[in-house]
């Protein structure tokens, strides 16, 4: 790496880290998400970065490297620091946003609002406030807030394995001939997992494409079963439309439980195992989509991003639901069927990578 890139990158990464946790605050200082893009360009650059001049580095960063960013780069290069970043590290708004946005369902926008409008700086202060104003947060965010301490922890792998087994057993009870397994960090072989990501598809749908309501009803059966066992303790998605509340619309995350169009039925919730609350996600897909869903939900998200980027570069579009040819206008063209994850790599002309080789 060039001396320039080596000095600029860590500072950019810090700015980016701040952006991911506290967009609103940081955007006032740094105006845009350009730093994330800039790092992406540095990572993907095919140039020998050690040969680049300051101007060439700026060119390599692309159009997002405007006057402001160049000013920051110059300061970083001459002093190793960036004044705005120094100020940001001490900004009380940022500290509050960083703390509050660790609660599931609270994003930077809500966190900043809580700080500005209610002077809430910590999760404990938020709990006190919610006691007096129970409707301040959405019910599912209140539920997540109850388990806040547990959910901060990553779970050991053997515990994730037990959750996986419980969910797979429930899926088998729900529809017999079923394909069900854990994706995510568990499938990548990680020693700890933030949650367990379970993918389900009913085998006999292979010959008879599944309707959205079928995927929804299979998911409902699985979720009811796990509730009846006392395994699931809190829902973070509304399990039925009847229970969904109008004020839940326009949330920072998509909360729909029901399958929509060709998409999966999705459940997010909290289960209890060994006296700890743990996060579990369950998704029911059409089996034709399963190889793509498995690839997508195995991640890592960084691996996905680079694979999607590559697919796009060679004229395809890759998602959790399929691989498509890309028309010149950027819209999806013909869908390319794949029977396995391995086939998706093949169709893109890529060497297969085992899940444990797909990033941290
Ligand atoms: N994913 C993605 N882009 C996102 C979110 C998720 O590509 N914005 C994919 C890649 C992830 C997978 O979904 O690996 C599962 O998401 P998780 O958030 O559960 O991430 P992991 O399972 O990889 O890690 P963790 O152990 O923190 O759950
Ligand atoms: Mg996960
Ligand atoms: Mn997950």
Q: What is the pLDDT of residues 233-280, one digit of tens each?
A: 999 998 754 444 444 444 444 467 899 889 999 999 999 999 999 999
Residue 108: predicted pLDDT: 79
And the tokens for 93?
């708004």
Residues 298, 185: Cα–Cα separation, whole Å: 7
- The ligand 1 atom nearest the CA atom of 193: 26
Predicted confidence band of residue 294 (pLDDT cuts 50, 70, 90): very high
12-26, 154-168, 224-238 — which is least confidently predicted?
A: 12-26
Q: How far is the CA of 197 from the centre of ligand 1 (A)?
A: 8
Task: Work out which ligand 1 atom sits closest to the CA atom of 195.
Answer: 28
Question: Span 188-214, mean pLDDT?
Answer: 91
Q: Is-contact 271 262, C-beta < 8 A?
A: no
State the ligand closest to the CA atom of 299. 1
Among all ligands shown, which has an atom nearest to the Cα of 296? 1
Please write down the long-range contacts of 131-136, taking CB distance under 8 Å and 24 or more positions apart: none
pLDDT at 65 over 60: yes
The answer to whether the beta carbons of residues 162 and 273 sit under 8 Å apart is: yes
| Distance from the alpha carbon of residue 304 to the mean position of ligand 1, in angstroms | 10
Segment 183-192 shows an average pLDDT of 98
Residues touching ligand 1 (Cβ under 6 Å) are 184-185, 193-195, 197, 296-297, 299-301, 304
Which residue's CA is the closest to the ligand 1 atom numbered 13?
A: 297
Q: What is the pTM of this model?
A: 0.81
Percentage of the residues of the chain whose pLDDT score is greater than 90: 59
Name the pLDDT band for 16 (thresholds 50, 70, 90). low
| Better-scored residue on pLDDT, 49 or 37 | 37
- Pick the closest to residue 199 from 223, 167, 230 (CA basis): 167
Q: b vs e for 17-26, b when ≥16 Cβ sit within 10 Å of the residue's Cβ? A: ebbebbbbbb
CA of 181 to the centre of ligand 3 (A): 13
For the question of an ipTM over 0.90, the answer is: yes
The pLDDT of residue 25 = 55
The per-residue pLDDT of the chain, averaged, comes to 87
The DSSP bridge partners found for residue 202 are 178
pLDDT at 76: 76
Q: Please name the residue ranges forming H helices in 190-300.
A: 212-228, 290-298
Q: For residues 242 and 255, give the distance between their C-alpha atoms in angstroms, rounded to a whole number.
A: 14
Q: How far apart are CA 126 and CA 150, in angstroms?
A: 17
Closest Cα to atom 12 of ligand 1: 297
Which atom of ligand 1 lies at the shortest distance from residue 298's CA? 14
User: In this model, does residue 20 exceed pLDDT 60?
Assistant: no
Alpha helices in the chain (DSSP H): 3-30, 34-44, 54-61, 67-79, 83-89, 92-100, 108-118, 123-132, 139-146, 148-152, 157-175, 184-187, 212-228, 290-298, 301-313, 341-347
Counting from 1 in the atom list of ligand 1, the atom nearest the Cα of 188 is 23
pLDDT tens track for 300-349: 999 999 999 999 999 999 999 999 999 989 899 999 999 999 999 999 99
**Can you say whether the dihedral through the CA atoms of 284, 290, 292, 298 is positive or negative?**
positive
Cα(298) to ligand 3 centroid in Å equals 10
70 CA distance to ligand 1 middle (Å): 33
Confidence check: pLDDT of 36 > 90: no
């Amino acid at each position: 790496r060039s001396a320039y890139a080596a000095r600029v990158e860590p500072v950019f990464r810090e700015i980016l880290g701040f952006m991911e946790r506290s967009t609103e605050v940081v955007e006032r200082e740094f105006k845009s998400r350009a730093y994330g893009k800039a790092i992406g360009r540095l990572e993907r650059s095919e140039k020998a970065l050690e040969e680049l001049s300051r101007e060439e580095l700026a060119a390599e960063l692309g159009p997002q490297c405007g006057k402001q960013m160049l000013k920051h780069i110059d300061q970083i290069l001459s002093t190793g620091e960036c004044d705005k970043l120094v100020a940001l590290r001490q900004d009380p708004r940022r500290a509050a946003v960083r703390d509050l946005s660790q609660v599931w369902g609270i994003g930077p926008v809500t966190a900043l609002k809580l700080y500005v409008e209610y002077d809430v700086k910590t999760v404990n202060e938020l709990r006190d406030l919610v006691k007096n104003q129970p409707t301040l947060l959405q019910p599912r965010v209140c539920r997540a807030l109850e388990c806040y301490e547990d959910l901060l922890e990553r779970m050991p792998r053997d515990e994730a394995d037990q959750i996986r087994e419980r969910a797979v057993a429930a899926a088998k009870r729900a529809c017999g001939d079923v394909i069900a397994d854990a994706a995510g960090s568990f499938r990548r072989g990680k020693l700890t997992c933030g949650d367990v990501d379970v993918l389900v598809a009913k085998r006999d749908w292979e010959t008879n494409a599944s309707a959205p309501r079928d995927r929804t009803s299979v998911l409902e059966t699985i979720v009811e079963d796990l509730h009846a066992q006392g395994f699931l303790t809190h829902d973070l998605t509304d399990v039925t439309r009847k229970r969904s509340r109008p004020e839940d619309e326009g949330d920072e995350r998509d909360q729909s439980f029901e399958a929509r169009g060709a998409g999966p039925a999705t459940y997010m919730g909290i289960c209890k195992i060994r006296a700890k609350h743990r996060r579990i996600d369950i998704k029911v897909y059409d089996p034709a989509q399963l190889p793509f869903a498995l690839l997508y939900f195995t991640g890592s998200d960084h691996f996905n991003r680079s694979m999607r980027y590559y697919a796009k570069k060679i004229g395809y579009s890759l998602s959790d639901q399929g691989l498509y040819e890309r028309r010149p206008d950027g819209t999806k063209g013909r869908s390319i069927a794949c029977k396995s994850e391995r086939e998706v790599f093949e169709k893109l002309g890529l060497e297969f990578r085992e899940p444990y080789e797909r990033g941290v």
